[in-house]
Structure formats: C-alpha cells, structure tokens
Structure 1
Amino acid sequence: MIHIVAGTAGDAERIRRAVGGDVQIGNGTNELPVDDGRVDCMIVGYRRGLLPNRVRLLEEMGRKLPLIPVILVTDRDTNVAGLLSGVRVSAIVWFDEVQAKLQSHVEKACHATALSQLADVFRQSTLPPSLRAALTHSIHTARSNPVRNLGELAHAVRCSPATLSQQFRRHATGATTLSRFLGGLVLLRAQQLRLAGSSWENVAGQLGFARATLNRKCRKWPGCTLRELEIVGPDILLASFVSQYVQPLLNGAGLRADTNPPRSDQPVSPYRRPS
C-alpha cells in the first residue's frame, strides 16, 4: 500500500491517480501510518511555499520508519536540494512530471530498500533452493507482518521445518540459527512500529506475541529491554542484524551482503549481548 501525505486534497488526488493501486491518504492527524503494517512506500507532496515547514516531517519519517522508502513530490526548484540537506528521501519528483515519472520511482524505491536488497542477495545466492525461497519470503514479509516462527515459515514455503533448519545451520557454519534469524526480523519490525507511535502492547499484539515474549526476544538480541530498544538507531539495529544473522550465512555461500545502510562492522548498542 502507498501512504500519501499532501498539502491539499487536490494534490493528494493527483498523486493518487498517478500511482493507482492500493492507496491511503493521510491528513493532519494521520501523517505517519501508525499501526498499519501494509505500507510499502510513502509519498509526501508539498508545493514550494509549504515545503520549508514540512522538512521536519520528512526527517521524522526517515528516523521513525527507516524500512519504508519516502518519495517527495514538489514544485520544480533548484533550491530543493539545499533545503533537504541531511534529509533521507528515496527520490524527488516534480509536480509537472507526476503522471509520467512517479509510478516508476515508486517501483524503484520499493526495490531499493535495504531489506529488498537482502532478498535479492538471497534469491541470487548459491544456497539450496528451498532455503533461498524461505529466506526471501521471510524478508519480504518482514516489512509488514513478519513470520512468527519456523513452523509458520515452513508451511508458507511448503518445506519441512527440519530441512530448513538444518540447511540454515550448515551454511551458517553453526554461527546462528534460522529461528534466531526470524526473531531478529520480528524485532526490526517491532522497533519500526514503536518509533511510528504504537505502544509496545499494540506492537506486540500486531505481531502476534505477548509483550513479555517480545521483551524476552529483545533480551536475546540485541541484548536489551524493549524500552532500551527505543534509543537504538534503526540503521544500527539493521547493521547488527546483518552482522549477526545474515553475514555468517552468506559467508558460507561465498557471498557478502552489500546493502545500504547496514554496515556489518557497526555495533548495535551498549546493551548488546551475544545471542
């Protein structure tokens, strides 16, 4: 689903027509898609005169929803780049080019997210076909409703849980397990939902866990409480996930996870413990 925030109802409708499909239009009280796990991309549309006052919204989106691409639609202006210095957006589209270019930018932005890049790495790897399918599926669902456990994943890809677990452990050379990998994806999504404004109770309920269970997962990795997780930078958490759960698996297949922003040499937080 595409979440649209615009300065006027007319501009929101213009953007909606350009992208088509499943679209949600926000408003002054619903600019961030709180408690909605189906958002694939956000589009922010503001005219030149309004844009300077909406830079903070763009900063907030980048900080709180790092797994979702953000596209800015605005008037053609050479000063836009300077105004957005330090702000993370996936693309800028001028209002006079919305109909011709916005849809292609949405498709590219969704494909270019860090988790989408990881899915591509797995898909193109030399890992066993069943494991490739399972990992790719788990990555794709992690941006909305992560797979809760190994049994659920095995059912989704029609493969034995034991087979997937053994293949993962063998290629990760025993460094980690598929269950821990899935737990890490759950926490990436949990942090995103919390930073978007949901309470931990609502986050846990949306993901299908009790809050106490989610807290136990968090203590195993990255080694902190849920409240402490709120002060860990999302990019740092993603980097730690790549280092702890992805890189050992890809090293076993002779590959590296060259994704952006994850940096596998970056520690997650002062609370990090081995899992």
Structure 2
Amino acid sequence: MKPPRVLSIAGSDSGGGAGIQADIKTITMLGGYAMTAVTALTAQNTCGVTMVEAASPAMVAAQIDACTGDLGVDAVKIGMLGSPEIAAVVADRLERLAVPVVFDPVMIATSGAALADAATIAAFERLIALATLTTPNVPELAALGGEAALRARGVAWLGKGGDAEGPDVTDRLAVPGVEDVVWTAPRIHTRHTHGTGCTLSSAIATHLARGMSLADAVAQARQFVRAALLAAPGLGAGYGPMGHYAVVRTAEQSG
C-alpha cells in the first residue's frame, strides 16, 4: 500500500526543530511520504533566528509543480511563507488541487523572532479561505482578528491554547455549522517546545491524507505532539526540539 503523500510548503530550520525539518520527521514517523517546497532559509537554533532569506516565488512554484506533477499529493501543510508574493503563488497553486490543506499561519518563532511582516499576514486571507483548516496560536488568532472574525469568514480553524496562561491547555476546533470540539489537558512544563505548531499541523495533514475525519485527525495529532514533548532529547540552551523519533521508538518497544 502506498503511503499518504504530504507536501509541506514551509521554511527551513537549520537547527532541525521546526519548519520543514519538523514536518519531514512528523510525516515520516506517522507513516506518510514527505515532500517539500522550501519558502525560505533560516539560520536558527534553540536560542533564536539570526538570519532569514526568502526563496523566489518562481522557485517555490517550481517546487510545488515538481512534486505534484510527478509524485502526486494527498494533503498539503503550509507553514512559514516569507513574503506576500510567495503567499500569492502558493494560493494560485492550491486552487488547482483538490486535497486537504492545513495552514499554520506562522508569524513569530518560538524564540520571539518575527517571521511574517504585515503585508505577508494580509496575504494570508486567500490561504485561510482555501484551507481545510487554519491553526493559529493565541497571538496569531488575535492578529487574524480573533474568534469572531474567523467565524464570520465561515472557515474551519483550530485555536491552539499552548500560549495561554494556566495549568491546562485548551484547544478549540471550530467548523462552520458544527458544534465546537474542545480538548483540555494538563500543561506539559518544559522548555523544549520548539516546533510544536509545525509538528501539529503536519500531523493533522498526514492524518487527513489518510482519509481521517477532521476532528479525529486533530485528536490524533494532539496526542503525537504531547508524546513528542515528553520525549524531548534535551538539546540546546534555549527552546529545545521535541522527540519525534522517540515517540515511535517508545511505541514499538512497548508494543
């Protein structure tokens, strides 16, 4: 049986904890086949981002065409885009694809570095309308106008609560015409949270590529993220990476 094919359109993280690298690890560990369209190169580690260099829109489009034209695609995950021009060309390509799309509207890195300017955020509108699911965290949700604005757009979104205060983390899935699904779990206290949003969105995309329902895909992806947080290898002096590989290894050893 062929694995579900998932295309990640996102930036590269030289430290390996987030972005394209986290997406590849997640998709692979969940049994999918990972393909990539790199939107930007970043020089970063657990302590922060020191340099960002965006790819040309033509190069991003060429990568998408190369993957979808030959290998095919069952779902798409979108992360860091780098510029409004890249956001526009990604939207152009997605309009031609009839597959689930998960959009993680990356604006700020875990370390606090800005990864999207105001013009790029404004260009997110087309992608939000095209996406099967948009996955903003607390500050990203506010930047997009808040819950009321997304509900008014009539789009599906997952409000992630990891950035909120309190002993528990609450995530809310809102789908037009359906009652919200809410998950609440005890907060995992760790500094090794680099790449949580990338991992969650690519995990959701992989499950959707397999044909899972949206609510089930989110539920399974949340479990994967929590397990990866608990399995973090403890690398770096700042916001360390999660333990994607250790999640599967532990499951195999216990099975």
The two structures have a TM-score, normalised by structure 2, of 0.35
Q: RCO (CA 8 Å, sep 6+): is it higher in 1 or 2?
A: 2
Give 1 or 2: higher strand fraction: 2
Give 1 or 2: higher helix fraction: 1
The two structures have a TM-score, normalised by structure 1, of 0.32
